[in-house]
């Protein structure tokens, strides 16, 4: 291999964390064999974001991990932007925003007049702050990648989620898409498990409510696995689970990459017909006391490997080959 063919590293690798998901940052750092970078990320007395990078980053290849979500989604997003700006002004060579859950991704198109396309606004803000590239997992709509004017590495959590169900008999499983828009995701998931596919059709009654109207596919006597990109209130999955049980499914489970779980959602899901809810740790994990229905699969290994490959200028897409 000639020197021109060898992967090039962009300065020392440093990983910093905002306050949204420090547990995931620690796992990723452990996978990389490094310690998280030292930085102050807090608030001034008036509530404004305060950031100070407390170690030298000049010439470094810097990664900042933040998953803005929950009651302080806007504060977490602002914290990410300010950290990127601080690193840029401290002469970091390259800054990668590691955003396992991209906020405002559900506002990627106008559904009525005089509505914003907030996902595009967020993409502009991240690039303007000084990020060189973005690393994220399972965006709500793949087209959002085109909103960014900087490179985006879009990882998938499906291989990790599929591993959780490999112990089940494929002949007894049917993978179910809870809506028509998720058919492609569900089809790829069922290919990994070697199972059949079913589709639940729904109509949206409002911003947070839906109604199941029809179902396609055979689920009688099967273990049905609902697959989605994210779980918020859980109403879509619970409605779909009820229909699947009515159609003869003996066991209904659900999995998704991102577990948003606003107040009341965990209790609602615990009382639902779902036997199991599997999510990743792109967002803070559900408390262990919430119930045995919830299981978490960590994305830290795939994030660590993607960061390593970006740092060494190697292919990230090869992770999924």
Residue 251 bridge partners (DSSP): 223
For the entire predicted model, the pTM comes to: 0.93
Convert the pLDDT of each residue in 154-180 to its tens digit.
Answer: 999 999 999 999 999 999 999 999 988
Lowest mean pLDDT among 11-15, 84-88, 174-178, 285-289: 285-289
Model confidence at 223: pLDDT above 60: yes
pLDDT for the residue 313:
95
| pLDDT over 50 at 186, yes or no | yes
Instruction: Give the pLDDT band of residue 202 (cuts 50, 70, 90).
Output: low
User: According to CATH, where is 3.40.50.2020 located in the chain?
Assistant: 13-156+300-320, 159-297
Residue 226 has pLDDT above 60, yes or no: yes
Task: Give residues with Cβ within 8 angstroms of 289, minimum separation 6.
Answer: none
Confidence (pLDDT) at 206? 53
pLDDT bin (cut points 50, 70, 90) of residue 110 is: very high
User: Tell me: domain 13-156+300-320, CATH 3.40.50.1820, correct?
Assistant: no
Q: Give yes or no: 202 in active site.
A: yes
Whether the predicted pLDDT of 113 surpasses 50: yes
Nearest to 96 by CA among 120, 70, 66: 66
273 DSSP assignment: S
> DSSP letters of 23-57?
HHHHHHHHHHT-PPPPEEEEE-TTS-EEEEE-S--
Using CA atoms, how far apart are residues 284 and 70, in angstroms rounded to an integer? 10
Query: pLDDT band for position 252 (50/70/90)?
Result: very high
Q: Which pLDDT band holds residue 213 (cuts at 50, 70, 90)?
A: low
The mean per-residue pLDDT over the stretch 252-263 comes to: 96
The predicted structure's pLDDT at residue 318:
86
Residues of the chain above pLDDT 90, percent: 83
Q: How far apart are CA 40 and CA 54, in angstroms?
A: 7
pLDDT category, 286, cuts 50, 70, 90? confident
The pLDDT value given to residue 210: 56
More confident residue, 59 or 215: 59
DSSP state of 113: T
Instruction: Retrieve residue 234's tokens.
Output: 């859980």
| The one catalytic residue among 109, 110, 188, 202 | 202
Q: What pLDDT was estimated at residue 90?
A: 98
Fold of the 159-297 domain: Rossmann fold (3.40.50)
């Amino acid at each position: 291999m000639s020197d021109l063919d060898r992967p090039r590293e962009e300065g020392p690798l440093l990983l910093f964390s905002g306050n949204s998901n420090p547990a995931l940052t620690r796992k990723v750092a452990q996978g990389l064999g490094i310690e998280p970078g030292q930085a102050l990320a807090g608030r001034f007395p008036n509530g404004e974001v305060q950031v100070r990078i407390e170690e030298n980053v000049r010439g470094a290849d810097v990664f900042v991990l933040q998953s803005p979500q929950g009651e302080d989604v806007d504060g977490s997003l602002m914290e990410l932007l300010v950290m990127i700006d601080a690193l840029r002004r401290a002469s970091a060579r390259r800054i990668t925003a590691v955003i396992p859950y991209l906020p405002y991704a559900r506002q990627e198109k106008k559904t009525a007049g005089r509505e914003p396309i907030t996902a595009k606004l967020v993409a502009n803000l991240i690039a303007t702050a000084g990020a060189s590239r973005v690393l994220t997992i399972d965006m709500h709509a793949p087209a959002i990648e085109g909103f960014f004017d900087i490179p985006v590495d879009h990882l998938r959590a499906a291989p990790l989620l599929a591993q959780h169900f490999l112990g089940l008999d494929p002949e007894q499983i049917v993978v179910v898409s809870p809506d028509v828009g998720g058919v492609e995701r569900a089809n790829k998931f069922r290919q990994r498990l070697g199972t059949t596919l079913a589709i639940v059709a729904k109509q949206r009654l409002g911003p947070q409510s839906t109604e199941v109207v029809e179902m396609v596919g055979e689920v009688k006597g099967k273990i049905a696995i609902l697959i989605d990109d994210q779980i918020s209130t859980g109403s879509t999955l619970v409605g779909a689970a009820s229909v699947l049980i009515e159609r003869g499914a003996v066991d209904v489970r659900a999995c998704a990459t991102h577990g948003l779980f606003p107040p009341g959602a965990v209790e609602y899901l615990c009382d639902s017909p779902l036997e199991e809810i599997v999510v990743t740790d792109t967002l803070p994990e559900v408390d262990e006391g919430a119930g045995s229905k919830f299981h978490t699969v960590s994305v830290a290994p795939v994030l660590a490997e993607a960061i390593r490959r970006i740092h060494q200028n190697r292919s990230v897409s090869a992770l999924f080959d």
